Structure 1
Amino acid sequence: MVSGIGIALAISAAWFLAGQTLSIRLATRKGLANDVLVVVMLVNVVVLIPLALVLDPNPTITPLSILAFGVAGLVGTMVGRAFFYAGIKRVGASRAEPIKASMPLHATIFAVILLGEQVTGPQLVGIVLMVGGIAAVSWEGSSAERAAGTEIPWFGLSLPLIAAVFFGLEPIFANVGFDEGTGVLTGLAIKTIVALSAFVLYLRWRSQLPHPKGFSREELVWGAAAGLANTAFLLAYYAALEIARVGVVVPIMQTSPLIVIGVSALFLRQVETVTPRLLGAAGVIVAGGVLVTLGG
């Protein structure tokens, strides 16, 4: 029974993650990626803080956990998302999501460098698959642009890859906070508050802080949808990890690129170009991510 609930939550997390990516694609069709990121983080804060206060009324918080979750928020919630959202705007959801799904590759590399962990045989095979899949997605994307007579978006294709690097760093810092005894909801609230505060200060320093009246209705609706989907993903993902093994949860969650590509092919044909080669490359990346996770 417990494993069944864990699997259901992991499947839900994969769909919520895909829903976030697709909502960001629609929100950034005319809006700026940074503006949409502000909306998403605001939704995170509005939902997570009340949940943390109600469900974790006496949290365990230490200076180290605040620092750890704060850094996790800066590298993942702020910087990682900023690159990812910009990548979605430039190259589309069906290409950005598979490239971003290489996060286990970078997390494994950081674990080896920073924590001294060893790479197993299955992980090495998974890494090779993921590198090959990323190259295939990048080549397919550039080929599509060449066929359309437009500039090859190598910079755009690099944005979700950079995002994956920062997303790979986030769990290392978050785990330090969890080891201090801080609960999941409190930790998520801390890292989101820190990320939103830092990002607002950055935009204000750059004189790019969006005004509420500057948002279009489409941008607000899809940005809010992305924020709700992202918050639901976080809750489903961590709830799944509480009752099911990582080796079950993470591989299921890694299927989100295939969901994004499938939905894009069916409903977003006007804004997304999905090819059989793209689907195959995404499948290779997903298989590599599963091997890296299970082999650890």
Structure 2
Amino acid sequence: MKTKAIFLGLFLLFSISAFAQVKVHVGATTTGQMNFVLDKGLKSDPRYVQTNDVKFAPIGLAFGVDLTDNFGLQLESIYSIQGAYYQVVDIYETVQGYRDFEANYIHLPMLFKFMSASADRARFNFMIGPQLSFLTSGSERLQYDASQYYIPEGVTPPEGAEPVPGEDYYDVPATDGEIVLFTTEEEIVREFKEAEFQIAASMGFDIDIARNLSISTQLRMNYAISDFRNEDFIQYMQDKKYDELYERRSSLLVGVQIGVNYVFGGTRFFTR
């Protein structure tokens, strides 16, 4: 009986000790980010030159559990404004218009968090894990002026384009104002997937600023493993021989995230 009591006491002691290391935190984040579209078709088309502008994931919520000093789990919900902007250039490399696509998502990453075991005020961490992304809105817009353009081999020239005799480029008329692509009754297949699987990763620092408050600074990255457009849409456009090269299109998102967290039971620096 005495032996059982000793074992029970040791079990409770170790359980309490282990539980004391667990830290639960909730917080809010905001992110400035750049979206790189990985599309061989657009890259090989001399009409399009991608420029990178900063967009935002204006608000995110985070819930995390540090199970030990070295390891934890973090679940986030992030509203993300994404997209890419292309200049449309003619054979003289003069900018004549733009192609702009925007796709906004709710990201739900589940991250495995590896961190420094120290009780320093600032501690390094690395996170990686799967992410489900749900589309909230998406559009692709195009506008350009009349000029002479190179048209890649295998691409159907835009309506009204005429080949220049003895040359490898075309006289192309201007678009009728801004065109929202893939919205006509004929184009019945939705372009963007409504949900997709991605890989999310980040590295940065947790910095304790008060007994129950910490801030986080992270370099974030999301990579879409598959094409973020529907397979049916791609096949439809390839069969139609639409006026561009249809290759796999994925995206790489890189950004800087700042967050504020409330830590239940106290931050590590102020409670050790």
- Of Structure 1 and Structure 2, which has the larger fraction of its residues in strand? 2
- Of Structure 1 and Structure 2, which has the larger fraction of its residues in helix? 1
Q: TM-score, normalised by structure 1?
A: 0.23
Larger Rg: 2
The one of the two structures with greater contact order (alpha-carbon pairs below 8 A, sep at least 6) is 1
